[in-house]
Structure formats: C-alpha cells, structure tokens
Amino acid sequence: MIKPHGSDTLNSLLVTDNQLLQQLLTEAESLPSIVLNSAAAANAVMMGAGYFNPLTGYMNLADSLNVAENLHTEDGLFWPVPVVNLVKDTSAIEGASRIALRDPNTEGNPVMAIMDLAAIETVSDAQIETMAEQIFATLDPQHPGVATFTSLGNQLLSGNIQVLSLSYFQADFPDTFRTAGEIRDEIAERGWQKVVAFQTRNPMHRAHEELCHMAMERLGADGVVVHMLLGKLKQGDIPASVRDDCIRKMVELYFPANSVMVTGYGFDMLYAGPREAVLHAVFRQNMGCTHLIVGRDHAGVGDYYGAFDAQTIFADKVPAGALEIEIFNADHTAFSKKLGRVVMMNEAEDHTKDDFILLSGTKVRQMLGDGIAPPPEFSRPEVAKILMDYYQLENA
C-alpha cells in the first residue's frame, strides 16, 4: 500500500488507549483552557484522525509563513496550507505550558485535545494578509476563506497535541465518518491496490458519477473512495446528511458491488482552490489512495481561480517526489446529446456548447426548489428526488 506522507507509518494523534484517555480527561479539567474556533478545531480533528500525518501539532509562525510562501516547513516537510491555532485572547492561558483545547462545535464545549504549549506568538496584520493571499490567491473579504482566516485572531498558539475527541463527527455520521487509518484498513481488507479518491462537498450528479467510472477504467483501479467533507461550509451549501443520502443512493444503484467506499472526513471547507487541492492530495495519500481526481475548479468558489489552476499547481509548484499520490486530471464532464452519454468535453470532437446538457448550480437549485427534477441526463432521478424533498422542506 502507498506510504503515508512524510513517514513510513501513519501517525494518528488520537488517544485510543482507554486508561490513558481517562487520565488525560481528568488532567484536562485542572488545566487552563480555551475554546477553539471552528477552523482550529477542524485542524485538531484532521491531526487526530491521521489525515495530517506526519504533523504532531499546530505550526509556529516561522513554519506557517514558510508553508504559505514556499510550501514547506522550516525543516523541509512539504505542506500546502498552514495548520494553525489562531486566537484573539490568550488571557486565560497566560504562563501555562500545558492547556486544554475545548470544542466550539459541541454543546458544553468539552475538551477535545491537550496541548503542550511551545509558544504564543503575535502575528501582525501584515503577516496574516501575507498568509491569506498566498493560501487563497486573493484578499477579497467576500471570499469565504479569506473572511474566515483573517478573522481568527492575531495570537498564534503552537505546540504538540494529544487528541481526545474527534468532535461531533463520529456521533453525527457513524456510518460515514472514518479516520485515515480506518480507510487504510478497509482498503487492505478489500484487497484493493490501485485506489482513486473523489473529493466532494456537493451531491454527485451524472457528471461526477461518470468521472469516477472513467478514472477507474482508465487507471485500471480496483475501487473509488468517495470522500465527502462533513464539516462547515458556506451558507447555501447542501448539508452533509443530505449529500450522504444522495451519494449512497447513487452508489447503490449505479456502481458495481465492492467498487466504491462512501466515507467522510471532519474538516471545514477552505475554498482555497489550488492550495486546497494539494492539501486534498496529501491527506488522500495518508488514507491509502494512489490517485486523486482533480477536476474543473476543484475546491474553488466564485471566479477566484482559473478553471484548471488546481491541476497546474501540481506541475508548477509541487516539487518532484514531494507526494507519492498521482493526480487524475479531468476536464468538465457533461452529457453529450450527439453521443448519448457523459463525456469529458475536451474529448468530444465536433461539438459546440449547445451539444451538451449544461445547467448552472443556480438553475438546478431553482428547479429542485420548485419541485422540478433536472433532466435524467444531468441528475439521476433517485438522487433528484432526495434533493427535491430537501429543498421543498427548506422552502416550506
């Protein structure tokens, strides 16, 4: 099986020994504590679940700036996005060397990690902007990732962590949330050698479905891991539970048995386009996938990124040998009226735009809200039914 990024074996920061867990939970109650923001909590979940291997904690300022500007830490580890714990107020932990980190997304703010506090560093507004511009390629405050990152605070807490809880993800998505180690184990149990990862924050339409089929066929892959984001999204995006239902219905009806794993991970969407695509590659390698599908406007939002910037970054900025996972580059896929099937548009000869069935996301949402199913060439009817029920309930 493909090795994890940066190490020979996977390093999960989640404490699984029950005796040690109870000791740490007891200790945590006597420690100074802070309630994390959702972004820092998501980073803790990803480290705890092994997705951010080989990191052992939150980055300091030097590493954060180096990652943002040069895509590697001070000691040379390739990494695409700073993994930070930025806060606004450190008065509750002044003078402490060991602190408890509390979950902002669970009622009562239970402890989710213990941190050995290596440093508290003040980050200037200019440094925050430098990092934001490198990560998101814009400083437009309307960009949801920029808006979040620049509002987290100017106090940077760095140091190693022990993760005691993976927040709400295991309880809310027991059939879908999996750690990187659990996915590796299931890949091994299925006997898969060549494995394709498909990233999604949306329900999967016909184009996405066919893209998975194409990747499997062209790569000779044993299976696809559909890996959906279960954390926070921007307003208007479809909730994870609805996406989960849609994807499972599609896999049940339109994929061969033992060819797809439907799983999810606990992270908040960054909307960082190319940089987030590289982060996706890192943690898909950590969970045992050999290939990642990167399509048009991967992890993008609005018009901030070129259609294929998330593909070209792997050629332009990712050093040779930095990652073992390979990228399956995909063009925009759509149903061809001429050919009667879904194709990659750049592979369809003698076609004009009118030869494809193309619907904007806005148009699709409007149709679903009005109880009108998109054409079956665009969306499977069984999937459309789930989405129509959701939108009509929302609009009721």
Among 114, 144, 170, which residue terminates a domain?
170
pLDDT at 355 over 90: no
Give tens-digit pLDDT for 335-352: 888 889 889 888 888 898
pTM of the model: 0.94
Residues 154 and 252 in one domain: no
pLDDT at 280 over 70: yes
Per-residue three-class SS string for 373-394? CCCCCCCCHHHHHHHHHHHHHH
Question: Could you tell me if residue 13 is inside a domain?
Answer: no
Q: Are residues 23 and 166 in the same domain?
A: yes
Q: Is residue 361 predicted with pLDDT exceeding 80?
A: no
Domain total of the chain = 2
Give burial (CB, 10 Å; 0-12/13-18/19+) of 352.
Answer: exposed
**Average pLDDT estimate for 235-264:** 91
In order of 43, 243, 278, 343, the CA distances from 326 in angstroms are 24, 26, 11, 22
Residues 270 and 375 in one domain: yes
**160 and 180, same domain (yes or no):** no
Hey, which residues are catalytic here? 201-202
396 confidence band (pLDDT: 50, 70, 90): low
pLDDT at 305 over 90: yes
Q: The domain containing residue 317 runs over which residues?
A: 176-395
Q: What is the pLDDT of residue 131?
A: 98
Integer CA distances (angstroms), 230 to 14, 23, 245, in order: 19, 30, 13
Give Cα 108 to chain centroid, integer Å.
Answer: 26
Is 1 contained in some domain? no
Mean pLDDT of the region 17-31: 97
8 assigned to some structural domain: no
Q: How sure is the predictor about 203, in pLDDT bands with cuts at 50, 70 and 90?
A: confident
Looking up residue 145, the CATH number of its domain turns out to be 3.10.400.10
> What CATH number is given to the structural domain containing 360?
3.40.50.620
| 5 occurs within a structural domain | no
291 plus 144 within the same structural domain: no
**180 and 141 within one domain:** no
